[in-house]
Amino acid sequence: MLINKRTFPVAECLLLLVAAFWGTSYGLSKQALAFYSVLGFIAIRFFMAFLTLLPALVREYRRGAARDWRVGLPTGAILFAIFVCEIYGVLHTTAANAAFLISLCVLFTPYTEWLIFKRPPSMENFVLAGLSFVGVILLTTGSTVTLNIGDLLILGAAILRAFMVTVTKKVASDKDLSTLSLTCIQSGVVSLGAAFVIILFQPETLRALPMDMEFWLITVYLVLFCTVFAFFAQNYGARNIAPTRVSLLMGTEPAFGALFAVWWLGEEIGLTGWMGGGLIVFAALYSVFPKTAREVPAGVREPKSAV
């Protein structure tokens, strides 16, 4: 019996938008850190995201849903670790190094998927991940990748990103918890984690909130587009498509970051850089539009996607 898959790749397209927004986040986060500490910035950003999504979580809980809210705790803890590594890394390394190293999550994800689900991804996924990696190398040709503390932190964030999409797929699938509520819980965990670490280990960094309008405009943008929307889309994708494909689509981030750098920052990118960006986008688009039909044995139903 011939069964058609979904006609429009909603999850994949949302993840491409996430990559586009995250491509702008490195430079903007670096600007915000000129006004406030790393953990303070993380706490503010995710507390604002939590408050934005809290009405959705409360409404869902009152309807008798969201009873599986605990699944957001482990993934929220991983997300907190990702942002500690990533924001501290951005503070101590260059944007080019950060874009290169964070994209290694594309290569790490097949192995985290193999480790957690005990089944190897398809050879096609490995080939496309390798193609994306070649694209990242070409995109960052000319940058100096030296493993200082910032580079090592970004590398750690890349490994944690790979675990994030895989663990989300494992713990959140078929649970009574919407993607909005999951994102809200994760944001709350990150905000509380940052505040706890500040109070316990860095009380001297506590000071009055920044009053500069530039800081708050950047923060609002990052909250709405790079946090609320981005993690909603990432959670939706992680619950509906394979973890390796999620990571592959997110691997287009350096290409979008390059476009942002040219348009906003006035940076120049050579021919090899554009070739690399083209390879990354090609690999992602190839994964977005797989075969639209496949053979399913008689009597076997197509599994429904989680919502």
Q: Would you say residue 213 lies in a domain?
A: yes
pLDDT bucket at 210, cuts 50 / 70 / 90 = confident
Is 300 a domain residue?
no
What does pLDDT average to over the chain?
A: 80
CA 282 – CA 274 distance, rounded (Å): 12
Query: In this structure, is residue 305 part of a structural domain?
Result: no
Q: Of 20-29, 106-115, 146-155, 225-234, which gets the smallest average pLDDT? A: 146-155
Q: What are the respective helix, strand and coil percentages of the chain, to the nearest 5?
A: 75, 0, 25
pLDDT of 50:
95
Contacts 24+ apart (CB under 8 A), 204-212: 205/37, 205/39, 205/40, 206/40, 209/36, 209/44, 210/35, 210/36, 212/35
For the segment 83-88, the average pLDDT, to the nearest whole number, is 94
77 within a domain of the structure (yes/no):
yes
pLDDT higher than 50, residue 302: no
Residue 290: the pLDDT is: 54
Q: Is residue 2 in some structural domain?
A: no
Domain-located, residue 161: yes
pLDDT at residue 77 tops 80:
yes
Residue 9 has pLDDT above 70, yes or no: yes
d(CA 2, CA 285): 24
pLDDT for 132 equals 81
Report residue 219 as tokens.
């923060």
21 has a pLDDT exceeding 70: yes
Packing angle between helix 10-23 and helix 229-240, nearest 10 degrees?
140
Total of domains in the chain: 1
Q: Does residue 57 form part of some domain?
A: yes
Query: Contact at 8 Å (CB) between 301 and 160?
Result: no
Range with the largest mean pLDDT of 4-13, 136-145, 169-178, 214-223: 214-223
Largest CA distance in the chain: 66
Per-residue model confidence as pLDDT tens digits over 104-147: 787 788 888 889 888 787 788 788 888 888 887 787 665 544 55
How many residues can be counted in the chain?
A: 307
Q: Is residue 221 part of a domain?
A: yes
Q: What is the span of the domain harbouring residue 271?
A: 15-291
